[in-house]
Amino acid sequence: MAIDADYEDALTDLLKLSFYLKQDGVESALEKSHRGGHLWVFLAEPLPSRDCRIYVCGLALRLGIPVKGGKQREGIEVFPKHDALKPGRYGNAIRGPLGIHRGAAQRFWFDGADEDVGAQMSYLDSLPKMTREQLARLIAGKTIPPQLAPPEPKPERNVTRHSGAFRILDHISTRLRTVGHNNVTRCPSCAEEGHDRSGDNLSISIEDPRKYICWAGCTRNMIRAAVGCPRPVLRACDLNEQMATNGIIKGPT
């Protein structure tokens, strides 16, 4: 698991966490970064991410170290962030140990070994790994701090689908790629102008495909026109009737 911190005094907090982790018998490795650092804890086997967060977040709050989440805008973040992932979905990404920072275009080294990939790997391999029994002992009787608990899931709404309703996915013939919570593909409007050669300007929500946006600035009207389904122009009387149906204005009496 990784503890990420990139705010003022982040390294001080990570060093403090590292010291108290060691008091619990948990070894960690500090990797500096562009604006702060990552504190890595290596595991003897795959363990539930929720249990890891229960331990680290609880320890951080007891030490007065801020944990990002809820109303707290700055603080440490613990990866992995998700308890589980739906099939085909990805969690939040973090640069792996000894990876090249894309913004700074450089590798950041771990404290505790020479600045050489071989020496660094030997150092990481020598660190004791956290076991399932050790983690279970450290979190016995504990839960996620209330201020960091995820919100209750909203009940799913039954969306009435009309046979004539516009569905963007029905008009996309280019390949879709999954990026985070969205599918991305070439924007039809951009393509008409000879743009979007990388094929990722159009982003479509996986959860609700009715939500889509072109990051190059094409409007929904432009996108619909490009796929041959321009938005119908409503007459004033039709618009008033539609708004009345939706409860926006009072209908005619």
pLDDT tens figures, 34-90: 888 999 999 999 999 999 999 999 999 999 999 988 778 899 999 998 888 877 777
Q: Predicted confidence band at 250 (pLDDT cuts at 50, 70, 90)? A: very low
Statement to judge: residues 118 and 234 lie in one domain: no
CA geometry: angle at 138 spanning 132 and 144, to 5°? 100
Statement to judge: residues 134 and 18 lie in one domain: yes
Statement to judge: residues 180 and 109 lie in one domain: no
Statement to judge: residues 62 and 181 lie in one domain: no
* Domain housing 19: 2-148
Statement to judge: residues 40 and 117 lie in one domain: yes
Number of domains within the chain:
2
Residue with tokens 């909203």: 154
Determine, yes or no, domain membership for 174: yes
Q: Give the Cα separation of 177 and 46 in Å (integer).
A: 28
Compute the Cα dihedral for 71, 50, 38, 106 and give only its sign: negative
DSSP alpha helices (H): ranges in the chain? Answer: 10-23, 49-62, 117-126, 132-138, 188-192, 220-226, 236-245
pLDDT score at 137: 97
pLDDT score at 248: 47
Determine, yes or no, domain membership for 55: yes
Statement to judge: residues 140 and 53 lie in one domain: yes
Distance of CA 136 to the CA centre of its chain: 27
Q: Give the Cα separation of 36 and 158 in Å (integer).
A: 45
The last residue of a domain, from among 119, 148, 177: 148
Q: How is residue 20 written in tokens? A: 């108290």
pLDDT score at 103: 78
